[in-house]
Chain A
Amino acid sequence: QSVLTQPPSVSGAPGQRVTISCTGSSSNIGAGYDVHWYQQLPGTAPKLLIYGNSNRPSGVPDRFSGSKSGTSASLAITGLQAEDEADYYCQSYDSSLSAPVVFGGGTKLTVL
C-alpha cells in the first residue's frame, strides 16, 4: 500500500491527451510539499520527468506537464506518442512518522 495513490493503468491513442493522478494526504502533498514525476521505460532506470510540481528538466518535451492542487497532483501528456508507453511514478516528501520519501505505486501508460 503506497502512501501516494495512483491509478494502476491508463491508456490513450496516439495524439490524444492523458492524465495521471497522484493523491496524497495532509502530511505530504496537502502539507505543501512538492510533487515530482518519473518516467520508467521498460527495462530502464526511472528518469526525472517533472520536478517541483510543474517544472521540466532540460530535454523533457513540453508535451509533459504537471500540476498540483490540495492533496493531489496530476501529470498530463498531450500529443501521445508510442515512445511514451512506460511506467510513471509520483514522489513527494512526508512529514509523518513514515518514511520521509514517499512514492506512488506507479501507473502503466499504454499507447493504443
Chain B
Amino acid sequence: QLQLQESGSGLVKPSQTLSLTCAVSGGSISSGGYSWSWIRQPPGKGLEWIGYIYHSGSTYYNPSLKSRVTISVDRSKNQFSLKLSSVTAADTAVYYCARYSAVPRYFDIWGQGTMVTVSS
C-alpha cells in the first residue's frame, strides 16, 4: 500500500527558504496517471493547493505562489520536494504531500502532514 511521509525543517526564519521532502513508499513515483502534490493548511484555516509535478517532470503551481515555489522529483530516491522562498509568517502552516490522480483529478493518498513555523 502506497504511503507518503513528509520531512524537513519545522522552523524557518522570515525571508529564508522552506524545504520539505515527501518520501514515497510501497510504490513507484514514476507510475503513470499520477502527479505528486503539495497542499498546505494554516492553523485553523482551510486547504490551499501549492502545486504538483507530473511523473514526466512537468510542474504546475498555484499562481498566488508561483514566483516563490519549486517542486522537484528525485526518482532514484523515490521522493519529491518542495522549496518555498522568501517566507513570511503567512506561510506558517501544516504542509501535506499527496498523490493526485490525473482522472478524475482528486487526491487519493495523503501524507500525515508536517507543521512549519516561520518565526525569527
Contacts and interface: CB of A to CB of B under 8 A. Distances in A.
Nearest to B106: A36
A45 B96 contact: yes
Given A33-B105, A46-B47, A93-B105, A99 B64 contact: yes
B46 A46 contact: no
Which secondary structure characterizes the binding site on chain B? strand
> Chain B: interface residue count, which band?
20 to 34
Contacts, number: 61
A103 B104 contact: no
Interface string B83-120: 00000000000001000110011111011110000000
Contacts of A102: 49
A91 B46 contact: no
Interface string A14-50: 0000000000000000000110101000001111100
